[in-house]
Structures are given as structure tokens and as C-alpha cells.
A and B are shown apart, each in its own frame.
Chain A
Amino acid sequence: MSLLEKRYRSTLRVLPAAYRAEREEEMVSAYLEYAGDVPDERGPRPRFGEIASVLALAVRVRLGGHGAAARYVAWGDAVRLVARYALLYKAATAVLILISMIIATQDIEQSGPPMSAERTVGVLLALVECLWLVSYVALVRGAARTAKLAALAGLLAYVAELTTVVINHDPLRLTYLIWGAVPVLALFGAYHRDAPPPRHSWVRALYPPLAGAALIYAGQAAVGAIANAADMTPELAVVAYTVFGQTGQATLAVLVLAVLYLARGSEAATLLGVAILATVLLALRLIEVLSPVSQNPGVLPALAIQSALLAVMAFTLAITGLRKLPALPYLRERPG
């Protein structure tokens, strides 16, 4: 076996084993004919374009769409669910930011004097959040490319946050990046040519972010009202906001969805999708444990309880979902 063949076969290992069992020999044969004879002494390697095409094929096969094996379609559907739910959360948050910009302008006013660079940056950062709303609406309206571009632009704004993490050593900043990276990765990975998003009405595109924003707002207002009414100490209020703040609300929503889907005996794709979301939220909660907020009395136990619930749910969903995954069929096309 030549060095080039050896290296190309190594590249093909990113493909699922069942797919390789069916395709590897003919792919290697086609590639070696394409590349021609290259002596080992030259240390040949598959070109970047070849490797990229195999990687793209691996993602498309594993996160299958139309015409793929049912097992891979289930994985694809799971990641598509992650994309939709994660985008919905971001879109609902964007609606709240938009409304607060229009109704209550104090946040913008506090960011700096009129026409100052600080205020301009404040307004721009708020508008950047609206990209997630654009992305969600585009996805539900069936415009996958617009959804991807808007989400990618939103993520790029968060990449600047990563610099802040390095400078300030504030782990909480990392959570923004994760919240942005999850829908982008899921969108680009699972919504490919074989899995275009179905086109829904404007009502169906706009209603969930509006309803989500109302829920988030109601949750935060309720915590504020209870804190005031019960005359909570500032320490206890921090605990309440940790449990019922935005990430806390997302955690509660995922836990409720998990119980609901498990009780209904939902299909593998749904269970695995919610398991992925629960795992992401678990990671976010663990990052919060490392942040200065957790130094407040009572916050650490609250985070620990939510993290434990997320871990149990993620594990249960994953095990149940994996057991329900359809078996792989015999992939080979038959003559006829």
C-alpha cells in the first residue's frame, strides 16, 4: 500500500463505519486514479480540498436528510431540533432587547452621551442581537442560507467576547460564545442540500419568538416582584436570579421538555436533540460555577442542583434515544 493510499484511507475514517464498508474501496480506487502515481519519497498527502470534501460528506452522511438511512436521518433531525430551539431562545432574547430599546431607553442612555462612540457601540451591540431573530425567522420561512449567514454574523460579534475572556478572565463571557456557536454549528451541519428547512407561514415564524420573549419577561418580572414582596436580602435575590434568570429559565424549559418527551415516548431524534441541549446547558452551568457569581452564598448549591438535574436528564434522554435509533440498513445499491 502506497503512502498516499494509506493517508487517504486515514482521511476516510471520518466517515461512518457502515458507509466505509460500502464505499471505501471504490473511493480509494477513484482517488488513486485521480491523484496518479506519486512515489512515497515525496511524502504525498491528500490535498486540503480532498480532505474538506470527505469531511463535508461525513457530516452530510451522519446528519442525514432526504434519502439517507433512517438512523442518520434521526441524528440529522436531532441536530436540526437543536438548531431550531437554540435559535428560538436567541430570537426571543433579541425580541426583549428590541422592545427594551424602543420602550425603555435608559440602557442605551446609560451606555454613553448622545452621538458618543460608547452609545453607538451600545446600539450596535443591541442590533447585533437582532441577527438571531432574523436567523430564526429565515429558518422557519425556509431560507436556510439567510438563516446561516445571519447566525454566523451574530456569532462573529460574540467572537469579540472571547477576547474579553482572555483579558478579563471572566468565564461567564464564554457562555455567550457557546450560546452563539451551538445554533451556528447545528445550522451549518444539519441543514444541508438534502435537508432543506420546510417553509412555514409568517405567523408560525414570528409567534414563537414573541411568545418566548413574553415567557422570559414574565419569569424575570415574577422573580423581581417576589424579591420585592418578600423583602429578599440581596444575597437571596442573586440566588433567585441564578435559578430563574435567562439561562436558568432555559434550563427549566429543557427539563420540562425532557420530562414531557420522555413521558410521551417521543422518537429518538427528539430525545437526542433535547439531550444535546441539556448537555450544552450543563456546560454553561458548570462555567457559571467557575465565575465570581458563584461566590455569593447559596448560588453554588442552586447551580449544583440544576446541573445535577440536567446531567440526569441528559443521560436518561441519551440512553433512551440511542436505544430507539433505527438500525442501519444494508447500504449498497442493487443492480436493477
Chain B
Amino acid sequence: MNITEPMFLALTALVDEPRHGYGIVQEVERLSGGRVQLKIGSLYGVLDRLAAEGMVALDREEVQAGRLRRYYRLTDEGAGALQSEADRVTANAAAATTRLRARSAALGGAS
């Protein structure tokens, strides 16, 4: 399954603790430095996909001030998929960094 950036960030948001819908929105915004601001419709599209793949599961329900909060948690499958994706992104970033350093060194040597 292709893990998009919102899915990646939503999974990351659930690594430390289960979170409810708005909690995930806040954490995704924090993790991305404000760059990714999930709309509620988009959030539930992401949660539907992750739940269908067994990457997240319902943890518990709470009612606060008359409002329903459903908390979602990361499953072992989700943690595994996130780890694989993180490894892939890290390897890509490392390859890019190595080549950029080599380019800088070459340009420095040429000047």
C-alpha cells in the first residue's frame, strides 16, 4: 500500500499514545511544522484507509461536554508499515545528502 504524507503523519501522531480525531489533526500540524493541516473530511478518509489496512484500531470512546470522542491507536501492523516507510524515506534522504555533499565538494574544488 502506498503511504501518503498525511497517512505517514497520522500514523506518526499515534506512535506515543492513542488520540482522538482533533488530537490527530493537531499532532499532524505540529509534526509537519504547520505545513500539513488536515481538514476533518480528509482526516476521516485517512483513518478509513488506515483502519481498512489494520494499521489503526479503535482504542476507546469518551464523552466530554456532551461530545463523542473516539480514540485511535497504532496497531503492530501500523507500526511495522510506519517503520518500513521511515526506513525508505531515510534511505532516500541519505542518498540525496551524500550526492549533494559530493556536488558541493566538487564545486568547491572547481572554484
Contact = CB atoms under 8 A, between A and B. Distances in A.
A27 B53 CA distance: 21
Nearest to B41: A53
B21 A27 contact: yes
A67 B25 CA distance: 23
A195 to B, nearest CB: 11
A28 B44 CA distance: 12
A53 B67 contact: no
**Size class of the A contact interface (CB-based, 8 Å):** 20 to 34
B40 A333 contact: no
Nearest to A12: B41
A311 interface: no
B22 to A, nearest CB: 4
Contacts of A302: none
A334 B59 CA distance: 9
B57 A56 contact: no
Given A54-B40, A54-B41, A335 B60 contact: yes
A68 interface: yes
B30 to A, nearest CB: 14
B107 interface: no
A53 B52 contact: no
Contacts of A259: none
B101 interface: no
A336 B73 CA distance: 10
**Size class of the B contact interface (CB-based, 8 Å):** 20 to 34
A60 interface: yes
A33 B41 contact: no
B21 A67 contact: no
Contacts, number: 79
Contact of A29 (B39, B43, B69): B69
B53 A67 contact: yes
A335 B60 CA distance: 7
Contact of B43 (A30, A52, A60, A67): A30
B111 interface: no
B49 to A, nearest CB: 6
B68 A57 contact: no
Interface in A48-102: 49-50, 52-57, 60-61, 66-68
A23 interface: yes
A27 B40 contact: yes
Contacts of B20: 26, 29-30
Given A50-B41, A55-B41, A26 B70 contact: yes
Contacts of B49: 67, 193-194
A108 to B, nearest CB: 44
Contacts of A333: 51, 57-58
14 contacts: A25-B68, A27-B41, A29-B20, A29-B22, A29-B69, A30-B20, A49-B39, A50-B39, A54-B41, A57-B44, A193-B2, A333-B57, A333-B58, A336-B57
